[in-house]
Structure 1
Amino acid sequence: MIKSRSNLSSLEKYWILYDVGNSAFIMLVSTIIPIYFKNIAAANGVSQANSTAYWGYAISISTLIVAILAPTLGTLADTKGYKKPLFTLFLMMGVLGCAALSVPMMWIIFLVVFIIAKVGVSASLVFYDAMLPDVTTDERMDVLSSLGYAWGYIGSCIPFVISLVLILSAEKFNITSAEATGIAFLINAVWWFLVTVPLLKNYKQVHYVEVEKHAFANAFKRLGNTFKDIKHQKEIFTFLLAFFFYIDGVYTIIEMATSYGKDVGISDNNLLLALLLTQVVAFPFAILFGKLSKKYKTKDLIGFCIGGYFFIALFALQLDKAWEFWFLAVCVAMFQGAIQALSRSYYAKIIPKEKSSEYFGFFDIFGKGASFTGTMLMGITTQISGSSKTGVAFISLMFVVGYLIFKKAAGMQKS
């Protein structure tokens, strides 16, 4: 199933499978869930601009919660025996939250349940990313991280296509579109859990901090020490600052694309099919960038991806036709997996391995903080101006700032 599987260990394959699982829910977040939410909000008299803003606020709240929790949870997870239980806890929060979305409810309650599920998946990724040093070597991190995103994209298409066929053919099954969407949420929740089982059964924490007692109290103490250390480790701190700015635009484009497309008049079917194409195209490009990392420096590839996203944001400013949305979807697919995978592996190689969860907690602060800033900015500017394009203009500037700071961070790299 997985490319070059003969070169992958069983544990590396199981690690990749979690990307296949959680990507199913992440795919829903960028496609079916916002469309479903905007439709039930419209049925209750909420305007298009306001529903886009409320969706942005919900994403912002979920990312803010994780950004606050991530450093403490990450520090605790570095304690021997804690990483897998914490990963499992938030995995189940996300899976059960996804399943709960299938229950008919008011739009405001729907957003609350969505926030719970979003917190679950986002927090689980803190521990999942921190497992990377436990399951592979430094030399294999770029490739494995890229394969994770690649197979996540293509694997998530399986439950998504089933869901899409079910929703678009609801009448043939003698059910309503809303009922079909509810069943789709259940299908994706079950898929997410089942493909994660091999990792849950076989993962063992290799790198950890020995703490004999008072793990919680010790975690807070270590957290303070790590925060001081990061401020003095210029390469790590500068990279995190750059990551904050450029990933802001990436996450906002991913999470707001469907809502934005709907606002500029793209039909639901075109939105869903174009975003499905994004997953398919992203698969080979994520693998391609993983292979390119063997020939070119990771920092140069990340810089190239940031530039690509900047031009994508500029193109989105004039988007008003279905074919343009399709073209934009393909362009996003070219860089989406690469910029996330290479950023993850780049960071994993410059941090202390025994404190991987702790440091990835801070990685999540900068990543989720950026997502919070971007989606909140998108929501506020859309409500003030009455147009989503104002928010996109601000987002494009984030790529410029992120690129300039990243070039400075890359210049500090020792090798």
Structure 2
Amino acid sequence: MSMKMTKQERSWVLYDVGNSAFVMLSTALIPVYFATLAEPGSSVVVAWGYAETVASLVLALLMPVLGSLADLKGNKKKFLIGFIGTGAVACAALGIPTHALAFLVVYVISSVMLNGSMVFYDAFLVDATTEDRYDLVSSNGYAWGYIGSCIPFVACLAVVLGGPAVGIDMGVGMKIAFLITAAWWVAFSVPVIRNVHQTHYKPRQPRLMRATFRGLAATMRSIARDRRILLFMLAYFFYIDGVHTIIKMSTSYGTELGIDAVQLVLALLVTQFVAFPSAIAYGRLSTRFGTRRMLLVAVGAYFCITLFAAFFLRSAFEFWVLAICVGLFQGGIQALSRSEFGKIIPKEHANEYFGFFDIFGKYAAVMGTFLVSLFTQLTGNPSAGVLSIAVLFVVGFVLMAKVPAGVYEDGPAR
């Protein structure tokens, strides 16, 4: 199999470069900025966790229906453009609110649009390449997304952290950072919009909404009947919970422990550099050892990472160790989950299936962020919140180990 990518594959990969800039900003700098807007004495972890919970819940409710509509001929790209455009505008507008609640409302909108666009983007994988190259292309998407996002993020850091030296306070610096990120996101969306076209689709039908809901019901029955898809999605539900929670809550958790904001941001930047070669390596290792086996390795590693965070993370040094360990497995577990799912679903229903796939991921994120916020609030100890999600990696590992081996040639029957 050639390691060289086609124009369509490269165009698809570049969208990961574009959207990852906002993912990086929302992971590292936005929670720090939100802490400056929050009321003195309020818990940043609790407020941020509940905001992420709302965003995930809204997305999980919307995407199955929108995904089904996007499977119709010519719709996938229209939905992708709509979500990118709305999300970029909301991202740029994050610099306007000066009150914590108003800021969270705009953030939830931008987060829903970002993650919604990712569902349509993931579904475009089946149009951008062939099944035997899913692991390779998906891994390259995450890898180049990690390294590419560092460019606008470093520019944002220079403005936010270096701004005071030239008279630019943090508020103005963050406004500039939001604009830089939105522009980067839009610019790297152009290739996938221009060069990747929907080749797998459902024919248009009369009584559109009725047909849409009937299609969703058929997909749900198909998932329930197919043991491989059902077990895979259940396993994904549990282990991706921990992954998303660690991504979304790491900076807030570090802030709660009193770790310096600069140390937090720089450590997360190192995560991106470590994740770049690691994600590519994971894609290549999967062709030798199998996708499921590599997923099991990553889930086991994340369980150990969670224990380390709960029991040993107390200083900036431990946060750096944690950031490097996360970088080794983050891209691999996300990329191979996406590509493996793409292999076992009907290609003409990709958006519909990825919509349900996203439900499992987003409801897991609802549970993870909620558990962290709840246990932190009840115990007054952020470590208890982190420890509460460790068991989910165990459940995910056990379920993934039970997924039947083998790949369907034509996807599951509907």
**Counterpart selection for 2:17 from 12, 17, 20:** 20
The offset of 1:126, in angstroms, is 0.7
The 8 Å contact of residues 74 and 127 in structure 1, kept in 2 or not, is answered as yes
In the alignment, the residues of structure 2 paired with residue 396 and residue 108 of structure 1 have an alpha-carbon distance, to the nearest angstrom, of: 30
CA RMSD, Structure 1 to Structure 2 (Å): 1.5
Give CA deviations for 1:46-100 in whole Å, capped at 9, x if unaligned: 42xx221110000010010110011111111111111111111111121111100
The offset of 1:170, in angstroms, is 0.9
The 8 Å contact of residues 75 and 358 in structure 1, kept in 2 or not, is answered as yes
| AA of the residue aligned to 1:37 | F
The offset of 1:145, in angstroms, is 0.2
The 8 Å contact of residues 234 and 399 in structure 2, kept in 1 or not, is answered as yes
**Counterpart selection for 1:395 from 389, 396, 407:** 389
In the alignment, the residues of structure 2 paired with residue 147 and residue 203 of structure 1 have an alpha-carbon distance, to the nearest angstrom, of: 16
The 8 Å contact of residues 306 and 339 in structure 1, kept in 2 or not, is answered as yes
Residue 181 of structure 2 is aligned to residue 188 of structure 1: yes
**Counterpart selection for 1:326 from 317, 320, 326:** 320
Give CA deviations for 1:140-169 in whole Å, capped at 9, x if unaligned: 000000000000000000000000011111
Helix, strand or coil for the counterpart of 1:187? helix
The offset of 1:216, in angstroms, is 2.9
In the alignment, the residues of structure 1 paired with residue 280 and residue 241 of structure 2 have an alpha-carbon distance, to the nearest angstrom, of: 23
Which deviates the most, 82-91 or 250-259? 82-91
Structure 1 runs of 4+ with >3 Å offset: 410-415
The 8 Å contact of residues 134 and 207 in structure 1, kept in 2 or not, is answered as yes
Q: Counterpart in 1 of 2:412?
A: none
| AA of the residue aligned to 1:20 | V
Give CA deviations for 1:276-331 in whole Å, capped at 9, x if unaligned: 00001100100111111121100000000000000000000121011100000000
Helix, strand or coil for the counterpart of 2:306? helix
The offset of 1:221, in angstroms, is 1.2
Which TM-score applies when normalising by structure 2?
Answer: 0.96
Matched-pair identity in %: 48
Q: Counterpart in 2 of 1:265?
A: 258
**Counterpart selection for 2:361 from 334, 351, 367:** 367
**Counterpart selection for 2:198 from 182, 187, 205:** 205
In the alignment, the residues of structure 1 paired with residue 346 and residue 210 of structure 2 have an alpha-carbon distance, to the nearest angstrom, of: 21
Residue 128 of structure 2 is aligned to residue 135 of structure 1: yes
The offset of 1:349, in angstroms, is 0.1
| AA of the residue aligned to 1:241 | L
Give CA deviations for 1:24-66 in whole Å, capped at 9, x if unaligned: 000011100001001211xx3242xx22111000001001011
The offset of 1:6, in angstroms, is 7.8
In the alignment, the residues of structure 2 paired with residue 196 and residue 327 of structure 1 have an alpha-carbon distance, to the nearest angstrom, of: 33
**Counterpart selection for 2:241 from 243, 248, 266:** 248
Residue 201 of structure 2 is aligned to residue 217 of structure 1: no
Residue 8 of structure 2 is aligned to residue 11 of structure 1: yes
Q: Counterpart in 2 of 1:350?
A: 344
Helix, strand or coil for the counterpart of 1:206? coil
Helix, strand or coil for the counterpart of 2:284? helix
Cα distance change of structure 1 residues 346 and 193 upon mapping to structure 2, 3 Å threshold: same
The 8 Å contact of residues 299 and 410 in structure 1, kept in 2 or not, is answered as no
In the alignment, the residues of structure 2 paired with residue 204 and residue 87 of structure 1 have an alpha-carbon distance, to the nearest angstrom, of: 12
In the alignment, the residues of structure 2 paired with residue 395 and residue 7 of structure 1 have an alpha-carbon distance, to the nearest angstrom, of: 39
| AA of the residue aligned to 1:276 | L
In the alignment, the residues of structure 1 paired with residue 26 and residue 408 of structure 2 have an alpha-carbon distance, to the nearest angstrom, of: 39
The 8 Å contact of residues 79 and 215 in structure 1, kept in 2 or not, is answered as no
Q: Counterpart in 2 of 1:38?
A: 35
Residue 85 of structure 2 is aligned to residue 92 of structure 1: yes
Q: Which runs of 5+ in 1 are unaligned?
A: none
The offset of 1:217, in angstroms, is 2.6
The 8 Å contact of residues 11 and 199 in structure 1, kept in 2 or not, is answered as yes
Q: Counterpart in 2 of 1:120?
A: 113
| AA of the residue aligned to 2:163 | A
Q: Counterpart in 2 of 1:386?
A: 380
| AA of the residue aligned to 1:407 | A
| AA of the residue aligned to 1:45 | P
Which TM-score applies when normalising by structure 1?
Answer: 0.96
Residue 277 of structure 2 is aligned to residue 284 of structure 1: yes
In the alignment, the residues of structure 2 paired with residue 88 and residue 39 of structure 1 have an alpha-carbon distance, to the nearest angstrom, of: 33
Q: Which runs of 5+ in 2 are unaligned?
A: 410-414
In the alignment, the residues of structure 1 paired with residue 316 and residue 3 of structure 2 have an alpha-carbon distance, to the nearest angstrom, of: 42
In the alignment, the residues of structure 2 paired with residue 386 and residue 12 of structure 1 have an alpha-carbon distance, to the nearest angstrom, of: 48
In the alignment, the residues of structure 1 paired with residue 153 and residue 110 of structure 2 have an alpha-carbon distance, to the nearest angstrom, of: 18
Helix, strand or coil for the counterpart of 2:132? helix
Give CA deviations for 1:248-282 in whole Å, capped at 9, x if unaligned: 00000000000001111210000000000000110
Q: Counterpart in 2 of 1:376?
A: 370
Cα distance change of structure 1 residues 239 and 192 upon mapping to structure 2, 3 Å threshold: same
Q: Counterpart in 2 of 1:29?
A: 26
The offset of 1:5, in angstroms, is 10
Residue 141 of structure 2 is aligned to residue 148 of structure 1: yes
The 8 Å contact of residues 44 and 256 in structure 2, kept in 1 or not, is answered as no
Give CA deviations for 1:369-397 in whole Å, capped at 9, x if unaligned: 10111001111111111111111111111
| AA of the residue aligned to 2:117 | S
The offset of 1:205, in angstroms, is 0.6
| AA of the residue aligned to 1:14 | S
